[in-house]
Structure 1
Amino acid sequence: MIDFFTRTVVWLRQRSFFQATQRTLVMLMPIAVLGSYFQLLFDLVFSPNGLIYNIFGLDKILSDHLWYAGSFVSRGMVQVTFGVFGVYATYFMARYTARIYRRDSTMAGMAAVLVILFCSYASSSGRDSRMPFTASLLQVDGVFIALIIGYCVGQVFHLLGKRYVLVKRENVKWIRHRAWASVLPMVVSLILGIILGVIIYELQLKMLNSASFNEIVSRMQTTNNLAEGMLLSAVITLLGWLGIGYPLRSMSGTINNAYTAENLTYALHHGNSWNVPYKFLGSSLINNYGTMGGTSIVLAIIVVLLLRQKNHEIEALALLSLLPVAFSSTLGFAVGMPLILNPLFILPILVLPLINMLLAACAISLHILPVSVYPILKGTPGILIPFFGTNGDWVALVFPIILLVLDACLLLPIIKIGEKIEPRLNPEQEGAINAQK
């Protein structure tokens, strides 16, 4: 079984789409890690409902000028990293796809950027003249569409472009030759992009924004049926693995609806949350125990990698990402590892949250664990979300730690398989890297 799984992952990773995707995301790792730190800073310090902001009363300590300056810088850096992440992703995806087939990768990347920007413009045209581009196609939570656009443009260059020969010193004449040689695939890419943009505009398609998944998210938040909640959880985590993070992101933090309000009212009246009317609300289970605010699987992977210490570069990434991941800012590691669209991690990303939710539901039904009903401050560490959500119940502090240990143990075989896969994918480059070390 393990050999079959390993062979399947190797075969998938050797396909051009997954090759280009993995290379693109690893290349964008510095941008993603930088964005995760500024996201952490904004959520914890410069947000009125942030954890550190409220614990230390920063509204009384920091001057208005300093607070607004910090908020401006952190929010701005999040926008130029995660806010336009799709532009970077589609550029490098087209580049690496074209490079696989020895085509002009730079021109392919430029064409892909034009296509995604036009599609983004078409998606927002006529809605708000102050915002010429819709954010949903460009943000990190919609990176799947950016990768698809980049891959398609790269394939156009593969089919219609001329073979590219690398020269050490490019003069003006050679660059002009490159530009003319790429005219046909670039024009075809733009025509296809315009057609796609017109379809988006005419049909007023909502491309990968939060509204597109309202039905799934709303049902997940309000269902008290454990089986339905687990099914919807699998759908949401699968979308997250694909690079469509809007549903999963909307499940983090405090959820306000009639059901959560009724649970909170009961807890306030009775002084505890043991017998609230809705014990198995999907929003509570997935955010508190399934994903622990998004950190569950990521933090478990980091723990395993740091204990294994097999790859110094991966270990450095794990150490660099540990702080933001601990405070629920996971995108830096998810991109840099990468976890997104990595066939190796699809099973744990789907299955482990379900195991966590099922164990939590059993503990709640057996009256071992109270229900999380209280609001959570922004930036609260994922492993502490159940503790604060139950108003400081100590069982709710120990239980997520047990789940984290269990997740790490279940992930260990997957990490070992990953260590065997990498040398089989690129034996020549692996040898060169080892020689440099």
Structure 2
Amino acid sequence: MFSPLENWLAARYLHIQTVIRKKKVYIAVTHTLGSLLPFVIIGSMLQAVSRSIFMQNGFFYSIYHIGEWLPAARSIGQVMNALSDITINFSLFLGAFLFAKYLARLYNLNDGIVGWVAMLAAMILQVNLLAGVSRINIGSSLTNNGGGVHNIFVGLLVGLAATQAYRGCAWIASHWQHAPATWQEETFVTRGLHAVFPVSVVLAVAVGLSLLISLTGQNGFAGLLLYSIALPRWAFSHAIVTIMLITLWNNVLNVVGLSGPLSPFSQLTVDSTQSSKNLTVALKTGSLNNLPYRVTFHTVYDVYGAMGGNGMTLALVVAIILLSRQPDRRKVGWWALFPTLMNFNDIALVGFPILFNPIYIVPYLLAPLVSMTVGWMPLHFGWVPPVVYNTFNTGPGFLTAFLGTNGNWAALLTSVLAFLAGLLVYVPFIRIDNLAWLQTLTGELPTQQQEEAKLSGEELIPARPHPAIKKTESY
């Protein structure tokens, strides 16, 4: 049974879905994320396995001393990391291609050419042209300049801009380029020739913008965008209110596809000075009592607010596996479980999805705040010691406090309580998602079949007096 509040929230969610599913951009975004999912699953699995098992600071590598009985472990890890770069770190460019391709179908444009020009534009915008155009420079720019799932918004933005620019240039070109008199005269070659002008304009604009971005010294368009929204260093005070606000801002950026200032893989970067002083005092005194900095980003956010990645994603994955009635959601949850245990939440972001999904935005923002509150209270009152010792970035989040306090059981209990608190935040939203799904099955939510059918690649080209040809993936 659902409570009146859950029924009311489900009704509001259905209304939002009804409105946004009519938008071409939203339809293209959902199809883009679905097409990215297999690459993200493969890349996340490779990352989780390589960094936890085959890398020197990995959780399983250290516990089972894998390097001692498998000399080639690090070489295997490097190969797997390289393969994950091809999938995960190219998500921005794949996203630009797919998003532009699906938008082009909705606008009845040449989807193959539009997709490719968007992908090339995204790559050009990520390369520092002033540093010299070489194979090494281009390769490092494409793999290291924020091209992963966490900056997918950049790819979508470039895809949207490239599609609209192509659309406008194609309209201009149609007024002075020769057009076939009949549809029989239209061939794949003539379609390609008609695309020369819009493709040239889009790529030329991308080159010009890339040169301007290079003058700023930032790492491509993604780097410039992230720099423009970055918080100043002085904002990172260690008052609990500040930690909460910055965490909230970080997760707001996450749900729209941008990297925030916090990451489970950047431990000790925000508060390295405070963490170093805590460690020095602990080593000198042999005790975790009377440390100078009990509350920091590391001791509160990293330890209690980022289990499974930003947004307490591990709690969401477990909640979906246990409570979701949707088969697709549960399948994605099982795929995401191991990577999320190792603090890689890319599968959850793309597969559920969390990105641009109104049903999961609220709990994604609330769960870390609730979990951090549960962790902060015993820290503040001195009931548990703060984490001092270095821990594994790829270790299960609920063990971080236990390992970082040299096996303090009170810290472990606090971690479990913080995890359960995050889980409870997600539970009602999983139930609302179930209710919305059931109402969708009964036909209460319009499916927008006419628009979404255009993205299947199976529709027939209309208005042909002769036997129609089936539209392919490229034309």
Which residue pairs with 2:115 in the alignment? Answer: 109
Aligned to 2:246: 232
Q: Rate the CA distance shift 1:310–1:214 in 2: closer, same or farther, 3 A.
A: closer
Instruction: List per-residue Cα deviations over 1:331-351 (Å, max 9, x = no partner).
Output: 122222221232332222222
Counterpart code for 2:323: R
Structure 1 segment 81-92 matched on structure 2, within 5 A: 81-92=87-98
Equivalent residue, structure 2, for 1:389: 404
Q: Does 1:47 align with 2:55?
A: yes
Question: CA 1:275 to 1:292, structure 2 compared with 1: closer, same or farther past 3 Å?
Answer: farther
Task: Say if 2:374 and 2:414, in contact at 8 Å, map to a contact too.
Answer: no
**Is 2:304 the counterpart of 1:304?**
no
Partner of 1:336: 351
- With normalisation by structure 2, the TM-score equals 0.79
Deviations 1:240-273 (A, max 9, x none): 2222236333654454722101111222334342
Q: Is the 8 A contact 1:290 1:354 kept in 2?
A: yes
SS in structure 2 at match of 1:340: coil
Q: What SS does structure 2 have at the residue aligned with 1:208?
A: helix
Q: Which residue of 2 aligns with 1:120?
A: 126
Task: Report the number of matched residues.
Answer: 420
Match of 1:22 in 2: 30
Alignment-mate amino acid for residue 239 of structure 2: N
The equivalent of 1:400 in structure 2 is 415
Identity, % of aligned positions? 23
Answer yes or no: is 1:180 the counterpart of 2:193. Answer: yes
Rate the CA distance shift 1:219–1:84 in 2: closer, same or farther, 3 A.
Answer: farther
Against the structure 1 CA distance between its residues 284 and 99, is the aligned structure 2 distance closer, same or farther, given a 3 Å change threshold?
farther
Partner of 2:342: 327
TM-score, reference length from structure 1: 0.85
Q: Which structure has the larger Rg?
A: 2
Query: Is residue 2:110 matched to residue 1:96?
Result: no
Contiguous gaps of at least 5 residues in structure 2: 1-7, 172-183, 454-475
What secondary structure, in the 3-state scheme, does the structure 1 residue paired with 2:109 have? coil
Check conservation: 1:6, 1:417, Cα contact below 8 A. no
What is the Cα deviation at residue 177 of structure 1? 3.1
1:249 aligns with 2:263: yes
1:318 aligns with 2:333: yes
Q: Deviations over 1:110-134 (max 9, x none)?
A: 1101111111223673598831252
CA offsets 1:185-244 (integer angstroms, 9 cap, x no match): 323322332332232123334443499389648557x62211111111112222222222
User: Could you say if the C-alpha distance between residues 324 and 295 of structure 1 is closer, same or farther in structure 2, counting changes exceeding 3 Å?
Assistant: farther
Give distance in 2, aligned partners of 1:42 and 1:216: 32
Per-residue CA distance 1:372-424 (angstroms, 9 max, x = gap): 12101231111211221222112222222222222222222322333455632
CA RMSD of aligned residues (A): 3.1
Counterpart for residue 204 of structure 2: 191
**2:424 aligned partner:** 409
Matched, 1:426 2:447: yes
Unaligned runs of 5+ in 1: 163-170, 433-437
Cα pair distance change 1:228/1:188, threshold 3 Å: same
- Sort the Cα spacing of 1:30 and 1:425 in 2 relative to 1 into closer, same or farther, 3 A: farther
CA distance in 1, matches of 2:379, 2:352: 34
SS at 1:69 equivalent: helix
Mapped partners of 1:271, 1:425: distance in 2: 64
SS in 1 for 2:263: helix
Q: Which residue of 2 aligns with 1:139?
A: 148
Distance 1:250 1:409, change over 3 A: closer
Hey, what does 2:471 align to over in structure 1? none
Q: Please, which moves more after superposition, 208-217 or 237-246? A: 208-217
Aligned counterparts of 1:264 and 1:123: Cα–Cα separation in 2: 44
In structure 2, what residue type is equivalent to 1:300? A
Q: Deviations over 1:47-76 (max 9, x none)?
A: 11111111122222112xx22431232111
Shift of 1:14: 3.9
